Amino acid sequence: MLKTFRIGGVHPPENKLSANGKIIVLTLPEQVIIPLSQHIGAPATPIVQKGDTVKAGQLIAQATGFVSANIHSSVSGTIVAIDNVTDAAGLSKPAITIKVEGDEWENGIDRTEKIEHNIALSQEEIIKAIAAAGIVGMGGATFPTQVKLTPPPGNKAEFLIINGVECEPYLTSDHRIMLEKAEEIIIGVQILMKAIGVKKAIIGIENNKKDAIAHLQQIADKTPEIEICPLKVKYPQGGEKQLIQATTGRTVPSGALPIAVGAVVQNAGTALAVYEAVMKHKPLIERVVTVTGKSVKNPGNYLCRIGTPVSKLLEAAGGIPEDTAKVIGGGPMMGRTMLNIDSPVMKGTSGILLISDKEARRSPVRNCIRCSKCVSVCPMGLEPYLLAKLATFNLLERLEEEKVMDCIECGSCSFTCPSARPLLDYIRLGKTRTGAMLRNRKK
């Protein structure tokens, strides 16, 4: 019996079209656009100026405060602009635009394929190196990793949990790095274990990646402190709280962080980035991005530099299919639609998904028939139909009572609703307003 989380969950069709696609190194674009905010927390502050020449791996913006991240140039070239650009959502955000010239890297970065096993750094040095490298959660949440590795006083970490679940349909970048960079990931896990001072790590992987599970089990055979845990295929197994419950049986209390049950969760891609930062002195400047979709000519997994325009990735994948109606950054359940395909790949961009009008267009909204299917599928045990109604009428105290803040925005409710009601849209609205009310109350 495969382990899984206890309540709720849905089974969207997996569509892992690019699962067998070996990672392809994308050729360099002509220019990169590097946003100053690719992470949760304050945007980074630029330390370069227009006209400067930079090398790949050079620090170009510094973290602003504790909950922030450093930003490095992903290419060598000349800075052509530091100003606001229109991002994928159509909003105006500051970014550094660099014209690519050659491919020179900063001194000290080890670009060889040789795998380094000896973790010489101390716990504090590791965390400093991770912060210096600008590493953030690469599953998509982009939380600055050094913050997660520094639990607030009074909290003790017991397990490190690695999220190799990749429960979103279509996405396969974590699958491929677990197959092709398994040794590096295992070392990255060991580095992370040292950083938080734990003796046990569990790598959770959904059972539709049997080859990755087998491969990692073989490599982790020599490291008994790292357990590979196959999990039942059920969305959203990759949700942090669901993953902790499935792998350890522990339940993170409402409103609390994973550290409250002694768990620290990191994405598999983050573990890889940590290996590269600590052992190869390479900051986070490139990542594997899945480009996929039923009509895409060459769905695949592309290693590309941060700041590469999405349009360049689409070109490599065979161009934009005729029937494309939506370009999504991320997966179909929680990804964000893009307005502008020239916007850049960022640290949290796990995949670009192109879907047709038929798949994408929402059905007309009809009356709630009170079937309670949304309640059955909610992984947090909430009542989406009720939360949506309360949000419509702006009943914030009731929303708080009904635990709207526990919602992880997985989309299982909207996915399931037979009346095609936009439940998550209203719940998100309710969360925003209730969150603001709660913050005001604290003041």
The residue among 197 and 253 lying less far from other proteins, judged by its C-beta, is 253
Smallest distance from other proteins to CB 86, Å:
13
Residues with Cβ within 8 Å of 288's Cβ and at least 6 positions away in sequence, in order, are 23, 173, 176, 177, 269, 301, 302, 303
Distance CA 293, CA 360 (A): 12
Smallest distance from other proteins to CB 395, Å:
13
The residue among 115 and 371 lying less far from other proteins, judged by its C-beta, is 371
Smallest distance from other proteins to CB 39, Å:
20
Distance CA 181, CA 271 (A): 11
Smallest distance from other proteins to CB 88, Å:
10
The residues that touch other proteins, with contacts defined as CB under 8 A, are 6-8, 10, 12, 90, 169, 241, 245, 251-254, 256, 320, 324-328, 332-339, 341, 353, 355, 357, 359-363, 366-373, 375-376, 378-383, 385-386, 403, 406, 409, 411, 414-420, 422, 424-425, 428
Beta strands in 225-262 (DSSP E): 226-231
Smallest distance from other proteins to CB 169, Å:
7
Q: Is-contact 287 306, C-beta < 8 A?
A: yes
The residue among 46 and 379 lying less far from other proteins, judged by its C-beta, is 379
The residue assigned the tokens 């993170």 is: 252
Neighbours of 269 (CB within 10 A): 29
Q: Is-contact 220 178, C-beta < 8 A?
A: no
The residue among 145 and 324 lying less far from other proteins, judged by its C-beta, is 324
Smallest distance from other proteins to CB 42, Å:
25
Smallest distance from other proteins to CB 387, Å:
12
The residue among 219 and 395 lying less far from other proteins, judged by its C-beta, is 395
The residue among 94 and 422 lying less far from other proteins, judged by its C-beta, is 422
Q: Is-contact 172 18, C-beta < 8 A?
A: yes
Distance CA 346, CA 352 (A): 11
Smallest distance from other proteins to CB 164, Å:
22
Q: Is-contact 320 354, C-beta < 8 A?
A: yes
The residue among 202 and 338 lying less far from other proteins, judged by its C-beta, is 338
**Residue 401, exposed/middle/buried by CB under 10 A (0-12, 13-18, 19+)?**
exposed
Q: Which two tokens stand for residue 278?
A: 């600590």
Smallest distance from other proteins to CB 320, Å:
7
The residue among 44 and 327 lying less far from other proteins, judged by its C-beta, is 327
The residue among 70 and 324 lying less far from other proteins, judged by its C-beta, is 324
Q: How far is CA 238 from the centre of its chain?
A: 10
The residue assigned the tokens 């999990």 is: 231
Smallest distance from other proteins to CB 65, Å:
29
- Residue 96: phi and psi, rounded to 5, are -105, 120
The residue among 216 and 352 lying less far from other proteins, judged by its C-beta, is 352
Q: Which two tokens stand for residue 348?
A: 């949290």
Distance CA 221, CA 160 (A): 17
Bridge partner list, 56: 105
Give the HSE-up count for residue 362: Cα atoms under 13 Å, Cβ half-sphere.
13
Tell which residue, 354, 345, 288, has the closest CA to residue 320: 354
